[in-house]
Amino acid sequence: MKYVKFFTLTLVALLFSATIAVTVSARFSERLNDENNVLSARLSDILGKIKNKLPFLAPVIDRIIGHRKPVEEEPQKPDDVNLVFDIEIAEKFSIKDPIPVVATLTNKGKRSIRVSELSLKLGTLDFYIVTAAGDKIHYKGPISKHPNSVLIKPEQTIRYELPDITIKGLFGKDFSSEEVSKDYFGETGEYIIRGVYHSFIDPSGIEQNQWEGKLKSTEYKFEIFE
């Protein structure tokens, strides 16, 4: 009889200690939520087995289990920003013709988003080109000022047209006058072009629905022929 009483008191003490330990663990940061839930499940399973063996402890065990609820994670808000950036360019050009490129940004999301305007000279738009000779070039013109922001509505598309990418001085491998003034489009053959769009936070104080990030277009090939 003494052993049964000693065992019961020891068991109650262990249950009390385990309850305190689990309660303290639940106060950790959200990164421990998963561990707490696993620990709660294991503790409940152990307490359930003890209750089956020692029915007289059922009221105490039920109270412990009833207060141990899994810690629920706060649901994450879905990212409803869906912007699509791309460029438009013809497949073939005569070596004497200008080569226009159009950049487009479309809002495929369900709410209006404030973004930086599309502009080659405002630092929000880059064109990277691999020439027929294998030179890797991109825009080297001056950045005039910080871009303004524009509000683009759902399903709305904004456009920017570069009338001719073959103008000397627009593209180069570095900032030297020799490289920038070189005619990179004077050879026939296949060229590759990709556009990159950058959106920045507007410094004017407008904060609502602003988007900051970078988007790349599809890579396109075009041919220059005689």
pLDDT by position in tens, the chain (length 226): 555 455 555 655 555 555 554 444 444 444 444 444 444 555 666 666 665 666 666 665 555 555 444 444 443 334 678 999 999 999 999 999 999 999 999 999 999 999 999 998 888 999 999 999 999 999 877 777 888 889 999 999 999 999 999 988 788 886 665 666 678 999 999 999 999 999 988 776 666 788 999 999 999 999 999 9
Distance, C-alpha 180 to centroid of its chain = 35
Residues 18 and 44 in one domain: yes
Q: Is 96 a domain residue?
A: yes
Which residues are within 8 A (CB) of 134 and not within 5 positions of it... i.e. 6 or more apart? Answer: none
Q: How many domains are contained in the chain?
A: 2
Q: Does one domain contain both 34 and 125?
A: no
pTM above 0.85, yes or no: no
Task: Evaluate whether residue 75 is within a structural domain.
Answer: no
CA distance linking residue 192 with residue 199, whole number of Å: 24
| Distance from C-alpha of 26 to C-alpha of 68, rounded to nearest angstrom | 9
Distances (CA, A) of 24 to 43, 110, 213: 14, 43, 41
Domain extent for 12 = 2-67
For residues 24 and 59, membership in a common domain is answered with yes
| Start-end of H helices in the chain | 2-25, 33-53, 58-67, 177-180
Residue 72 located in a structural domain: no
Give the count of beta carbons closer than 10 Å to the beta carbon of residue 43. 18
Both 203 and 166 in one domain: the answer is: yes
